[in-house]
Amino acid sequence: MRVLGVDPGLTRCGLGVVEGRPGRASLIAVGVVRTPADAELGARLVELERHFEAWLDLHEPDAVAVERVFAQHNVRTVMGTAQAGAVAITAAARRGIPVTLHTPSEVKAAVTGSGRADKAQVGLMVSRILRLAELPKPADAADALALAICHAWRAPALALRR
């Protein structure tokens, strides 16, 4: 199964594609889309959509995994994250690609064994799982790969529940 993981954000949005099945995953691509904080919101969302569409065209994922927005104290950050995630969800849905939302603790538990792992632990495990020579940077890139790994590993069990 080929999965596009999306760690949504307006300033930095991580994208990672893995080919995987439970217990195994290999890196296809990883990157980060950046938009300027001083740009108009609509222009930033259009730029994100352009990149999502290009990644969907290039990598042809079977599924898209997006980090579920969780409550934070900074409402502005939550709104930007939710807006970026919604653009990714819409781009995938327009093509009929299934989208699953995963919480940060689900992703951490899938790749590290602990839902309370920190970003450094997640990055280290992503690099080990994918047999990378170095940690994916920035953290948004590692998080996107972790999302894709989580989904590739959990998809068969999730399908049984439906």
Query: What is the set of active-site residues?
Result: 7, 67, 140
Give the span between the Cα atoms of 33 and 132, in whole angstroms. 21
Give the span between the Cα atoms of 19 and 160, in whole angstroms. 20
Let me know how long the chain is. Answer: 162
The amino acid occupying position 84 is A
Beta carbons of 13 and 38 less than 8 angstroms apart: no
Cα 77 from chain centre: 17
Whether residue 156 has a cis bond before it, omega within 30° of 0:
no
Beta carbons of 112 and 99 less than 8 angstroms apart: no
Give the span between the Cα atoms of 8 and 64, in whole angstroms. 12
